[in-house]
Amino acid sequence: MTAKIVVGTRGSKLALWQAEHVAGRLRRRYPDAAVSLKHILTTGDKILDVPLAKIGGKGLFTKELEKELLAGGIDLAVHSLKDMPTALPPGLVLAAVTERVDPGDALISPKYGTLANLPRGARVGTSSLRRKAQLLAARPDLAIADLRGNLDTRLAKLASRELDAIVLAVAGLARLGWQDRITEVLPRDICLPAVGQGALAIEARAGDERVLGLLAFLHHEETAAAVTAERAFLHEVEGGCQVPIGVFGRIEGAALVLDAVILSGDGRTRLKDAVSGPPADAAALGRTLARRMYAAGGREILAGLVGYGRDKEDADE
């Protein structure tokens, strides 16, 4: 009997690329399967004129997909892992995490090229508090402008809004074949990435053994260990709002190394730390580092953020 697999996705160009990538791998693995895509509009796609930090809420780019999953309208949902809440709705599981591509942040500045070359007071566009805080930590003279929209929209605004530079994820640009637009990949000592950046998450129903079995081959263990540590860190420190933290885990030899930074919104206060240990202890490592940084001053830094601490038990992206 031919298997039917319905893949849920957002409708942006990048989301469609990611869903098609997963669908293509499923088709190659299971040539007799009927794999189709279903486009679903999310809250984050509907509200494009308000900064993400002001919208608040949880799962801005995932909730509608998750409702469709629970209702049985789709068999799996493909997300950018960095959009995934750290706590999933009852009945859903993170079925697979794909191998991570470059998790870095890219500066795009046709005129100036690099962060160091930007003139004093240069206007830099980003929708991320994490990027804003880290950019200001390195260059407090910059003027950060909020920048929402899909990748192609943001690239178009680089010229139309008279911005001197914008910052986007390397992975998204590379997936769409736009890596030639990158003028500098920001060093990690300046800008640590978002939790899960560069990896894809595939969400499915808990107990759906058919679909979970079909997806098993897509799971990449090393990436999964790294992002498990990152997500555990975020879950420990996050409140009910976007928070300016960067976290990056990777496997070095036999160890999992996790670096993290917690910043004030203006980047003037910055706390950095790292931890390492066995990959099997990924979640514990993330929690340990978070608690250590929280006790070392992270609590006070985050307490100064508007909205921090609300709904902490349901920590989100």
pLDDT truncated to tens, each residue of the chain (317 aa)?
468 999 999 988 999 999 999 999 999 999 999 999 999 987 666 555 455 555 454 566 788 999 999 999 999 999 999 988 888 999 999 999 999 999 999 999 999 999 999 999 999 999 899 999 999 999 999 999 998 788 888 888 887 778 999 999 999 999 999 999 999 999 999 999 999 999 999 999 999 999 999 999 999 999 999 999 999 999 998 754 578 999 999 999 999 999 999 999 999 999 999 999 999 999 999 999 999 999 999 999 998 886 565 433 222 22
* All residues at 6 or more sequence positions from 108 whose CB lies less than 8 Å from its CB, including other chains: 155, 158, 165, 166, 167, 168, 181, 182, 183
Q: How many CA atoms lie within 13 A of 5 on its CB side?
A: 29
Q: pLDDT digits over 2-53, tens only?
A: 689 999 999 889 999 999 999 999 999 999 999 999 999 876 665 554 555 5
- Residues facing residue 255 across a β-bridge: 252
Per-residue pLDDT, 246: 96
Residue type, 174: A
Exposure string for 308-317, b = 16+ CB within 10 A, e = fewer: beeeeeebbb
Q: How far is CA 158 from the centre of its chain?
A: 22
**Span(s) in the chain for CATH 3.30.160.40:** 220-317
What per-residue confidence (pLDDT) applies to 317? 23
Backbone angles phi, psi at 47, to 5 degrees: -105, 100
Note the CATH number of domain 105-185.
Answer: 3.40.190.10
Q: Which pLDDT value is given to residue 179?
A: 95
Taking every pair of C-alpha atoms in the chain, what is the biggest distance, in angstroms? 65
Stretch(es) of the chain classified as CATH 3.40.190.10: 1-98+199-219, 105-185
pLDDT for residue 308:
61
Supply the pLDDT for residue 183.
98
Query: What letter does residue 127 receive in the DSSP assignment?
Result: S
To the question of pTM greater than 0.75 for the whole model, the response is yes
83 is catalytic: yes
Rounded-to-integer distance, Cα 191 and Cα 51, Å: 20
Q: Which helix (H) or strand (E) holds 62?
A: none
Regarding the domain with residue range 220-317, which homologous superfamily does it belong to in the CATH classification?
Porphobilinogen deaminase, C-terminal domain (3.30.160.40)
Query: What pLDDT digit, counting tens, does each position of 141-167 carry?
Result: 999 999 878 888 888 888 777 899 999
Fold observed for domain 1-98+199-219: D-Maltodextrin-Binding Protein; domain 2 (3.40.190)
Q: Which of 83, 105, 208, 316 is catalytic?
A: 83
* CA gap 122, 144 in Å, rounded: 8
For position 306, what pLDDT does the model report?
Answer: 62
